[in-house]
Amino acid sequence: MININGMAHVVLTVSDYPRARAFYARLLPQCGMKPVFDGPKFTYFVGGRTAIGIEPCDEAYRGERFVQQRVGLHHLCLRARTREDVDRCAALLREMGATIVRAPTESTWAPGYYSVLFEDPDGIRLEVNHVPGAGVLAEGATFDPADGYAG
């Protein structure tokens, strides 16, 4: 058996690097992620036992936007420690003028699931959620991805 310890990092390729860099530089430090590298072609934030990198796409794809149903990334979800953190994130997103797809709400994805769903400047969908306790791993919990799917 291989024992993983969370997700190490995700790197997002963006069409407008300066715009995306400004978006994530405002959002991620408020989520406890520290910028550990910030260069002209790559920015990297670390915190909460994970990391997120941002890099510009190839010039041939600069006019494109993220399409959620294509092969590849569907959405990225960061786990908050409390429901109030989800609400604070939503307030920050409103202040930033970000596109909020779904305001903070409960769903049946897992017992106590509470999240906000939003988009970055390229339309890449991100979510910040809180699930109390063991979530779908709790004894007696049921899991049905078609019921209350977050994306």
Please give the backbone phi and psi of residue 129, each rounded to the nearest 5 degrees, phi first.
Answer: -130, 165
**pLDDT value of residue 134:** 61
**pLDDT value of residue 110:** 81
**pLDDT value of residue 28:** 98
Distance CA 145, CA 150 (A): 9
Total residues found in the chain within this entry: 151
Tell me, what DSSP letter sits at residue 99?
A: E
Distances (CA, A) of 107 to 9, 56, 90: 26, 34, 16
Pairing assessment for the beta strands 10-14 and 50-56 based on DSSP bridges: parallel
**pLDDT value of residue 105:** 96
One pLDDT digit (tens) per residue for the chain, 151 residues: 998 888 899 999 999 999 999 999 999 999 999 999 999 999 999 999 999 999 999 999 999 999 988 989 999 999 999 999 999 999 999 999 999 999 999 988 888 899 999 999 999 999 999 998 766 666 666 666 665 555 5
Tell me the domain boundaries of the chain: 10-137
Q: Which residues pair with 34 in a beta bridge?
A: 46
**pLDDT value of residue 108:** 80
**pLDDT value of residue 46:** 97
Q: Which fold has domain 10-137?
A: 2,3-Dihydroxybiphenyl 1,2-Dioxygenase; domain 1 (3.10.180)
In which residue are the tokens 């202040």 written? 95
pLDDT tens for each residue of 55-69: 999 999 999 999 988
Distances (CA, A) of 72 to 45, 75, 78, 85, 117: 22, 9, 18, 28, 18
